Amino acid sequence: MVGSTPVKVNNRRMARQCLFCGQRANSAEHLWPDWILKKVQIEEPFAHSIGGSAVKFTANGDFTVKKVCKACNNGWMSHLEQQSIPLIGCLLQDISSVLDPDQQTQLARWVTKTAMILDATSTKTRNIFYTSSERQSLRDSSTIPEPSVVSIGRLSKSSLAAYGTEFKIHVREDEQGPAETHHANAAVIVVGRLVAEIFTVHLPTRMNRIHRVHPAPGSWDRLLVQTWPTSERITTWPPPLSFDLTGQFSIATLMRRWQIGQHAPTAPTSGSDR
């Protein structure tokens, strides 16, 4: 993989449009909904940094993105959130769970929506990674961008954080063919004891297969449970190993699992632990 350089763009028009339907953005979406803030109850200040900028601290995790409309915020987004509360509420409280295919898909859709909101919080020096078509497809048909991989793990200590990194990745169409460079994005969402990651790469249609992209070596099969593409069988959470805030299996290690070489973080990182 090679690093990418942020390009300054004019997002004044985007700032006035809803991310998901293109109508006037007249509402603000919370990165962390109230029910999560109440359950996790973070007491320490939140650290917030975009694109390697100086870290800023805020008193709580009430981050909002003013790029959605009331119809979306109070409609399909609220419905998705309400449907997800029972499942995510158990996982963030470290309750062992059995996930059927429908629950795996539900969780993957929530992670995707949250990653898209995170992606839109940093637009002064970069284009939004997820396309308008991908965002609208999530709204209209609950379609997760392809190719994407969504996985979940467990954190050893309760925390609340969001990390996003955009980079370029070399992908071969076949084992003998030349490598082509394509844009990719990885987002890690941490709520309580739940760690969720979504990795998406923009490939041409002829190469639209995620198995052509491989993560860096690691104990991923013991740290993560894949929820998208959805398994046809029931799976269990948590996996055998857990992530930590520091050390061998830190969240920082997870952020680097798709990156081999230099990268350029272009989405915000924010979080706190209690």
pLDDT bucket at 179, cuts 50 / 70 / 90: confident
Mean pLDDT of 96-116: 96
Weakest-pLDDT range from 131-140, 197-206, 233-242: 197-206
Neighbours of 210 (CB within 10 A): 17
User: Which of these, 27, 230, 22, 14, lies nearest to 129 by C-alpha position?
Assistant: 14
226 against 62, higher pLDDT: 226
Is 116 a domain residue? yes
Residue 267 has pLDDT above 50, yes or no: no
Query: Which domain, by its residues, includes 259?
Result: 12-273
Neighbours of 211 (CB within 10 A): 8
Is 7 a domain residue? no
Weakest-pLDDT range from 126-135, 201-210, 213-222: 201-210
Is 21 a domain residue? yes
Residue 9 has pLDDT above 60, yes or no: no
Is 1 a domain residue? no
Instruction: List pLDDT tens digits, range 21-65.
Output: 999 999 988 888 889 988 987 776 666 565 566 666 666 666 778
- pLDDT at residue 42, as a whole number: 73
Residue 202 has pLDDT above 50, yes or no: yes
pLDDT bucket at 262, cuts 50 / 70 / 90: very low
Q: Which helix (H) or strand (E) holds 57?
A: strand 56-58
- pLDDT at residue 6, as a whole number: 34
Tokens encoding 216: 């860096």
72 against 42, higher pLDDT: 72
- pLDDT at residue 54, as a whole number: 62
**Distance (Å) of CA 58 to CA 43, 190, 270:** 11, 18, 10
Residue 126 has pLDDT above 80, yes or no: no
Mean pLDDT of 222-228: 96
For residues 186 and 53, give the distance between their C-alpha atoms in angstroms, rounded to a whole number: 19
Q: How many domains does the chain have?
A: 1
Tokens encoding 195: 């760690």
For residues 232 and 211, give the distance between their C-alpha atoms in angstroms, rounded to a whole number: 17
Is 5 a domain residue? no
Instruction: List pLDDT tens digits, range 10-23.
Output: 344 445 799 999 99
Residue 251 has pLDDT above 50, yes or no: yes
Residue 101 has pLDDT above 80, yes or no: yes
Secondary structure class of 153 (helix, strand, coil): strand
Is 53 a domain residue? yes
Mean pLDDT of 92-106: 96
Tokens encoding 98: 């059995």
- Across 72-178, the runs of DSSP E, i.e. the strands, are 97-99, 148-172
Residue 143 has pLDDT above 60, yes or no: yes
151 against 54, higher pLDDT: 151
Is 6 a domain residue? no
